[in-house]
Amino acid sequence: MDGLVNVLVTVAVVAIVIARQFRARAIDTDRRWWLLPVILAVVSLREPGILDADHRAESAVLLVAELFIGLVTGVGWGWTTRLWTAPDGVVWTKSSKASGAVWIVGIALRAGVFALGSALGVHQDSSALMLGLAGTLLVRGGILTWRARSVGAPSRPTPSRPAPAYGDDERSAWKERV
């Protein structure tokens, strides 16, 4: 039953993240952007079946590949996301088409790792997928927070400086190649 719960949690997190990434949102650089990835990592690492007992070396290599793909996907996603600063200084973010392409490539690579593991006869637990997702979210959140701080984001909106609605006289924070 734990495997089913992991799959459901992973699917729910991915659905929420994908739905939110293409909507404009203000970035609060003081927010605990690392909390969800840490929770996902803890949930995934609590299971003893993350490595196949009969194929330890092969499953460890597949786990490292999954983590690497997750980290690279997070880097790609973080750098292809658009940032802009509103007149009041609040930094906004919205994923681009390139971000969607990064997700598609990341999913395709993960499917390839799973297919390789299946061909080798290695049992692959859903915990590896969840750990890779945690890495993706952690790296993406870190990059976006760093980028938002580097363009001068205030720590959080204040009553005298509320976060504007999307499209209210925004200006580009910096010209990005996407």
What number is the average pLDDT over the span 20-30? 81
| 177 is a domain residue | no
Task: Give pLDDT tens digits for 114-129.
Answer: 999 989 888 887 888 8
Compare 174 and 46 and report the one with higher pLDDT.
Answer: 46
3-state secondary structure of 123: coil
Task: Give pLDDT tens digits for 88-146.
Answer: 888 899 999 999 899 899 999 999 999 999 898 888 878 888 899 999 999 999 999 99
| 44 is a domain residue | yes
| 144 is a domain residue | yes
State how far the Cα of 29 lies from the Cα of 133, in Å rounded to an integer: 21
CB 136 within 8 A of CB 106: yes
Residue 177 pLDDT exceeds 70: no
SS3 content of the chain, % helix, strand, coil (to 5): 60, 10, 30
State how far the Cα of 155 lies from the Cα of 55, in Å rounded to an integer: 48
CB 65 within 8 A of CB 113: yes
Residue 87: the pLDDT is 86
3-state secondary structure of 141: helix
| 173 is a domain residue | no
| 175 is a domain residue | no
Inter-axis angle of helices 97-120 and 56-80, to 10 degrees?
Answer: 170
Residue 153 pLDDT exceeds 70: no
Please give the residue range of the domain that contains residue 89. Answer: 2-20+29-155
Eight-state DSSP code of residue 81:
E
The count of structural domains within the chain is: 1
CB 133 within 8 A of CB 70: yes
| 172 is a domain residue | no
| 6 is a domain residue | yes
Residue 75: the pLDDT is 96
| 131 is a domain residue | yes
CB 15 within 8 A of CB 7: no
Compare 15 and 157 and report the one with higher pLDDT.
Answer: 15
**Out of 23-32, 51-60, 166-175, which region has the weakest mean confidence (pLDDT)?**
166-175
